[in-house]
Amino acid sequence: MRVMNDVEFSENGFVVKTLHGEQLAQSYRLRHKVFAESLKWVPETEDRQEVDLYDLWGTTVGLVRDDGAVVGVARLLPSSGQFMLEKEFGALLPNGYQVRKNSDTAEITRLAVDPEIRDKGLSSKMMLALLKGVYQWAVANDIRYYYLEVEHRFFRTLRALGFPCEMIGEPVMLPPAGASSVAALYDMVRFDEENAIKKPQLLNWMSSIETLQGEMIVGRTSAYSNREILVPEAAAA
């Protein structure tokens, strides 16, 4: 199984980081709160933790408050293991669709912020910070493509925010919650190219991180974007 690089940076009063130990256990409890208790996508468990087989090879990026509480979570699955899209969410794929399993591809699963955060403005900022963590994890691990399975309304929100996700197939009502859900593919290069023109402030923010020591690092965009920019220049030379 492929070994993945960790991420860790400060973001507006939170720390975005790869979770381990007790904070990883906290993420399982948060997942239970969201996906079992609130959304009813999975059964509730006695220990109030939502854990499955994919956690054996997945990486969890979390949003950590200054008191150490995990208030946002995204589990990222590398292509060296099975994707949920290949099994649990296969109904979202059109007949004959071939799932990418190249090393430049991963899957976003269990993406959520704490539902007890009632301030919608704060909750939206937290989700954006979490998506920045997902972006930076891709940069750190040479990932260009992400699969994701989300409710159709959240898919539309991602598109409006500037994340150029392309739907795969049509929306499907998935049991047991009956939510209208879609599978999509998110291309990091397209994100970089489109937002360099349409939303340069978003791209600058997504590609700049502050270390826990206070150092600012800028220009951390997809390595694939950098390669594609350099190729024409090399050819011209």
Residue 68 maps to a domain? yes
Q: For the chain, what is the domain count?
A: 1
pLDDT band at 44 (very low <50, low <70, confident <90, very high): very high
Residue 159 maps to a domain? yes
Lookup result for tokens 């900022």: 125
CA gap 84, 103 in Å, rounded: 16
Once rounded to an integer, what is the mean pLDDT over residues 124-137?
97
Q: Which residues contact 136 (CB under 8 A, 6 or more apart)?
A: 7, 9, 16, 206, 209, 220
User: For residue 177, what pLDDT is reported?
Assistant: 75
Residue 147 maps to a domain? yes
User: For residue 226, what pLDDT is reported?
Assistant: 62
Residue 2 maps to a domain? no
Mean pLDDT score across all residues of the chain: 93
Lookup result for tokens 């500037």: 162
Residue 126 maps to a domain? yes
Please state whether the predicted TM-score (pTM) of the whole model is above 0.75: yes
Domain span holding position 178 = 8-236
Give the lowest-confidence range in 1-5, 10-14, 129-133, 188-192: 1-5
CATH number of the CATH domain containing 157: 3.40.630.30
User: For residue 233, what pLDDT is reported?
Assistant: 36
pLDDT tens digits, one per residue of 17-29: 999 999 999 999 9
Q: Are 55 and 78 in contact (CB under 8 A)?
A: no
pLDDT tens digits, one per residue of 112-128: 999 999 999 999 999 99
Residue 104 maps to a domain? yes
CA gap 229, 66 in Å, rounded: 39
